Amino acid sequence: MNQSLSLLQLFELFPDERSAEKWLERVIWGKEPICPRCSCSECVTVRKNRKPMPYWCGKCRKYFSVRTGTLMAKTNLPFRKWVIAIDSFQTKPKGISSIQMMKDLGITQKSAWHLIHRLREAMAQEIPLFDGEVEVDETFMGGLRKNMPLKKRRATQSTAGRGVAGKFPIVGMKCRKTKKVIAKAIDTTDRETLHEFVHSNTTESAIIDTDEHRGYRHLNREHHCILHSRYQYVNGEVHTNGIESFWSGIKRAYKGTYHYMSQKHLDRYVKEFTGRFNLKGWDVLDQMKWLFQNMVGKQLMYRELIA
């Protein structure tokens, strides 16, 4: 059963900056500090004054800390605030806005925005190929056309009769056996894109359930189709209700928390919600440990986000 962690318990676990740093070192390194550049543990010297960094590697002759070589690198954000940020990020099913994170941590909105995007980057997972019954579906993210500015409404005038006008597509799948989800933002929902997504994420023995979208025709898999156009939503074991439930979660977050997801960063939002869905059922502390471990070897500079 998923064990939650109250704010009081969180502050008792991490009463000061040093306790948060020690906990992170155990999570990422284990018992002894390990140089992130050469993976050496025997050549490491602990510096008493902890400046400019607490550890020195005699092999590669460079200073390092638990931040080095992770998404926490090149930031002065205290470790305790990182722990609090991840707890807030993981425990809110509809996500947390940069404005709210700014208020919770007492940092600038710019820093909070960069922080949340780094956490989304850490949520990326490598999941084994899906087998058995797999539901596949696509959806579109964006606001209502009537709420768009005049310039944007004019740009989408040629598709004014369609509900997807001015929106961005996402494709996803849910494995009924493992109850895991894979999803990503795409440019178009044509046959080539949908086939590539299905073939690269499922085994040849997988059984694919989709709606009647023509992009799924002639899949190189056993394929069952549900006819939504005829108000058919379940046909025996054939349905896409699981992946559609996942879409509803993202859309509630869009309306209730974020209000806008740009096409440029849409895939990072998708990583956030697929990661949170796949960790569902874990204890909060285990989720936090996994996320910190998944920060190792990754980097996301602010200039990359605004480029």
Closest CA to 136 of 162, 102, 190, 173: 173
pLDDT digit string, tens, across residues 103-149: 999 999 999 999 999 999 999 999 999 999 999 999 999 866 666 67
Percent of the chain with pLDDT over 90: 79
pTM: 0.89
Q: How many CB atoms lie within 10 A of CB 260?
A: 8
Between residues 5 and 217, which one has the greater pLDDT?
A: 217
pLDDT of residue 25: 95
Is there a contact between 96 and 257 (Cβ–Cβ < 8 Å)? yes
pLDDT of residue 1: 45
Write phi, then psi, for 85 (nearest 5 degrees). Answer: -60, -45
In which region does residue 297 sit, left (phi positive, over 0), alpha (psi from -120 to 50) or beta (all else)?
Answer: left
Between residues 259 and 183, which one has the greater pLDDT?
A: 183
**Both tokens assigned to 8:** 């009081």
Burial of 106 (0-12, 13-18, 19+ CB in 10 A): exposed
**pLDDT tops 80 at residue 155:** no
Beta-carbon contacts of 60 under 8 Å, excluding residues fewer than 6 positions away, are: 35, 37, 38, 40
pLDDT digit string, tens, across residues 23-70: 999 999 999 999 999 999 888 999 888 888 999 999 999 999 999 999
Mean pLDDT of 223-230: 93
